[in-house]
Amino acid sequence: MDDDVTRVYTDGGTVAHFLDVLQSPNASDTEALCGRTPWPGLWHGTGSQDEEERAIDLRVCSQCQAVLTHRRNGYLSR
Ligand SMILES: [Zn+2]
């Protein structure tokens, strides 16, 4: 379902954001779908099993979800 995005979160973050899978979570200027960056830290959620599980547990950022939904609806209508 989420094969084309990666769930990530910031240091101390309470929501998960989506990154395009082609983008690196290991750069502090990588933008999530909502435009947010992890600056001055890095995205977490891909480094270890614990991080992956935490990213799954967090509520998804509503803006990231909206962008993803919009994008998928766009694909479906073509
Ligand atoms: Zn977001």
Residue 1 has pLDDT above 60, yes or no: no
Mean pLDDT of the chain: 91
Question: Tens digit of pLDDT for each residue in 35-45?
Answer: 999 999 999 99
Read off the pLDDT of each residue in 24-31 and give the average, rounded to a whole number.
95
Phi-psi group of 30: left, alpha or beta (phi > 0 → left; psi -120 to 50 → alpha; rest → beta): beta
Report how far residue 36's alpha carbon sits from residue 63's, in angstroms, rounded to the nearest whole number.
Answer: 10
* CB-based contacts of 64, cutoff 8 Å, min separation 6: 16, 17, 18, 32, 33, 34
Say how many Å lie between the CA of residue 38 and the centre of ligand 1. Answer: 10
Tell me which residues have their CB within 5 A of the ion that is ligand 1: 17, 32, 34, 61, 64
Domain boundaries, the chain: 5-76
What integer pLDDT is reported at residue 50 of this predicted model?
96
pTM check: above 0.85: yes
User: Tens digits of per-residue pLDDT, 44-58?
Assistant: 999 899 999 999 999
